[in-house]
Copies of this chain bind each other. A is one copy, B any other.
Amino acid sequence: MSTTSTNHRNETRIAADPALPTIEIIREFEATPERVFRAYTDPDLVVQWLGPRRLRMRIDEYDARRGGSYRYVHIDDDGSEYAFRGVFHEVRPSERIVQTFTYEEYPDGVSLETAAFEDLDGRTRVTITSLVDSFEARDGMLASGMDVGVREGYERLDELLARTA
């Protein structure tokens, strides 16, 4: 059954490479790379979509340029805080972001995260690659339920892009 609507739900694909300690996330958005990139780098926008719906988010620092740092906190209903931090190795407007990522509860765990923004004739494909130093760490990230937060966050990003179109 064909449809003329562009209002289909874009699927979030999350894959663990069997041969590499990586997680790859692929998601398409109904907006240009410029707009998706801005939603990834402007803290006033990031705070509106990153993470699952049930958590509040506080951004302490989000300096999305080469050499900048970031720190943000997700806050549960009971006040529990989950803090994340890292540095931006590369920020290439509308193309590519490379950053480090640490969940402060495990300060020795560091992942290297690359986001690539691909122009699909006005739509955008985002490919995220998270690289860690062991398969145990990678499988632990997947087992943590991060996929729920990723999928919900991207639905919130869909909504943000729609209402700011």
Which A residues lie at the B interface, using CB under 8 A? 19-22, 66-69, 86-90, 96, 98, 100, 102, 107-108, 110, 112, 114, 129, 131-135
Contacts and interface: CB of A to CB of B under 8 A. Distances in A.
Contacts of A88: 87
B22 A133 contact: yes
Contacts of A87: 66-67, 87-89, 100
A16 B141 CA distance: 25
A98 B99 CA distance: 12
Contacts of A19: 135
Contacts of A110: 89-90, 98, 112, 114
Nearest to A63: B67
Given A88-B87, A100-B112, A20 B129 contact: no
Nearest to A21: B20
Contacts of A100: 87, 89, 98, 100, 112
Contacts of A21: 20-21
Nearest to A110: B98
Contacts of A102: 89-90
**Residue of A86, A87, A129 ringed by the most chain B CB atoms within 10 A:** A87
A90 B100 CA distance: 10
Q: A-B pairs with the 4 shortest C-beta distances? A: A67-B69, A89-B100, A87-B87, A112-B112
5 contacts: A66-B87, A67-B87, A110-B114, A112-B112, A131-B133
A142 to B, nearest CB: 17
